[in-house]
Amino acid sequence: MWDNPRLLNAAANAMIALVATAFVYAGLQALARSSLFPLRDLVVAGSLQHTPRAQIERVTAGFGGNFFAADLSALRARLESLPWVRRVEVRRVWPDRVEIVLEEHVALARWGDTALVNTFGEPFAGQLEDAQAAQLPLFAGPAQTERELARRYQRFAGILQPLGEVPERVILTPRHAWQLRTSGGLHLELGRDGAEPVEARLARFVAAHRSTLGRLPPSGTRHVDLRYPNGFVLRVPEWKG
């Protein structure tokens, strides 16, 4: 080896590279621990309706230190633990600032009695005043079906729009059958998807409503069973005998 200039040059270059890497690493470590670049400001942006500033200040308390060494991943995790915060973007802004952009959940529906569902079909643990919560539709279904209920809710709402009805309750049973209750007192049994999706049954009911239920005298609750290929069954509790 000692008589081989090529190997000696390669070994020397490797040693130089190793030493240079060690110097760079040591320099970065010294920079990260240096008190010359203190982090002075946390700037929070975003349209916040349900996340009080006091909550943000509480979870960011104690965050600071060196501009280069500040753990932005930990800061993001703290903020995303807040019940109404859906997503957080954090970035360093030279020379001494960290900017935070918060995106809140937008509540679409209640999920049982325990949580809310946002417009992406994601459950979250936010809370609303009783009056506000009462204005949201209620979703109920097996675990992990929140996204499917949110998607179907949008479809059902669009189909019912010509009747001036809005789904107030959307239920997916353990057997994956769909049930709706609307703002006008309609209880709709849609059944399960098969060769014909349940949306087609609902659309057929809406098309026939004017010439069928639309001609009947007003009443309160109406139960409509749409689990038939060519029609539906109506039951009105007030009509007895």
| DSSP annotation of 218 | P
CA-CA-CA-CA dihedral for 164, 166, 172, 177, to nearest 10: -10
CATH 3.10.20.310, applies to 41-104: yes
Q: What CATH fold (topology level) applies to the domain 107-235?
A: Rossmann fold (3.40.50)
CB 220 within 8 A of CB 183: no
DSSP E strand stretches across the chain: 41-45, 85-93, 97-104, 107-111, 115-118, 123-124, 138-140, 167-172, 178-182, 186-191, 222-225, 233-235
Buried b (16+ CB within 10 A) or exposed e, 175-210: eeebebbbeeebbbbbbeeeeeebbebbbbbeeebe
Nearest-angstrom CA–CA distance, 172 and 10: 69
Sequence ranges of the domains in the chain: 1-33, 41-104, 107-235
Can you tell me the distance from the alpha carbon of 218 to that of 165, in angstroms, rounded to the nearest whole number? Answer: 15
Q: What is the pLDDT along the chain (241 residues), one digit of tens a residue?
A: 555 566 646 555 666 556 555 444 444 444 455 556 688 888 998 889 999 999 999 999 888 788 888 889 999 999 999 999 999 999 999 888 999 999 999 999 999 888 999 999 999 999 999 999 999 999 999 999 999 999 999 999 999 999 999 999 999 999 999 999 999 889 999 999 998 899 999 999 999 888 877 776 666 668 999 998 877 888 766 555 4
Which amino acid is present at 14?
Answer: A
